[in-house]
A and B are shown apart, each in its own frame.
Chain A
Amino acid sequence: DQQVKQNSPSLSVQEGRISILNCDYTNSMFDYFLWYKKYPAEGPTFLISISSIKDKNEDGRFTVFLNKSAKHLSLHIVPSQPGDSAVYFCAASARPGTYKYIFGTGTRLKVLA
């Protein structure tokens, strides 16, 4: 049972345009969400997080939106750059204090120059 789903395995976007990566979850107890970026041969790098008490969190070019009623979150990257090409994972936790996160299967983003 995949509690965190990233239904798009890949996405291609032109440089300068917006990239939107989506993530759906099934467990209504999840209350903390994170996005990670992973380059080949490297470990995942933390990008941005959001708590369930918010519906938006912004950090530079990265914005995460949370729709609790739809159990959906999305990561927006504006403007997209070729260096953003990587695999993006969303992760969720029901109890941040335990630091146990359930990861999605990832979306491979390719930003075309």
Chain B
Amino acid sequence: SAVISQKPSRDICQRGTSLTIQCQVDSQVTMMFWYRQQPGQSLTLIATANQGSEATYESGFVIDKFPISRPNLTFSTLTVSNMSPEDSSIYLCSVTGLAGGNEQFFGPGTRLTVL
């Protein structure tokens, strides 16, 4: 596996503001993903962070709301824009492609509360 860190670990934000979450991996990985886990819900894939190109978003998620960057093979950011209380969730990055396996490994998550 790899060591995956996320910053911040948690934050409380005001409605209408934006927050950028960072994900750092200690080794180069093929693919990075961003998930959301709303209270009492499952993990939902937001997008695949592509290195050197625009992210690929899942149905229901758009770039204007969740801009993503991936400047290299070990780092990605997710921004939650113009936040509302409905954006209160745990946001998780995950990576795959380690040792050629199919398994995804997750970061510790960022707990976001929007007031």
| A contact residues vs B (CB 8 Å cutoff) | 4, 32, 34, 36, 41-46, 49, 89, 91, 93, 96-97, 99-101, 103-106
Contacts and interface: CB of A to CB of B under 8 A. Distances in A.
- Give the interface size bracket for B toward A: 20 to 34
B4 A43 contact: yes
Contacts of A105: 40-42
A46 B108 contact: no
A30 B104 CA distance: 16
B106 A96 contact: no
B108 A99 contact: no
B103 A34 contact: yes
Contact of A101 (B1, B4, B104, B109): B104
Interface of B: 1, 4, 9, 31, 33, 40-45, 48, 92, 94, 96-97, 102-109, 111
16 contacts: A34-B103, A41-B108, A43-B4, A43-B92, A43-B109, A45-B106, A97-B102, A99-B33, A99-B48, A100-B48, A101-B45, A103-B42, A103-B43, A103-B44, A104-B42, A105-B40
Nearest to A5: B42
Given A43-B4, A100-B45, A103-B43, A32 B106 contact: no
Contacts, number: 53
A106 B103 CA distance: 18
A100 B43 CA distance: 12
Given A42-B108, A43-B4, A99-B33, A89 B102 contact: no
Nearest to A93: B102
A23 to B, nearest CB: 11
A4 B43 CA distance: 11
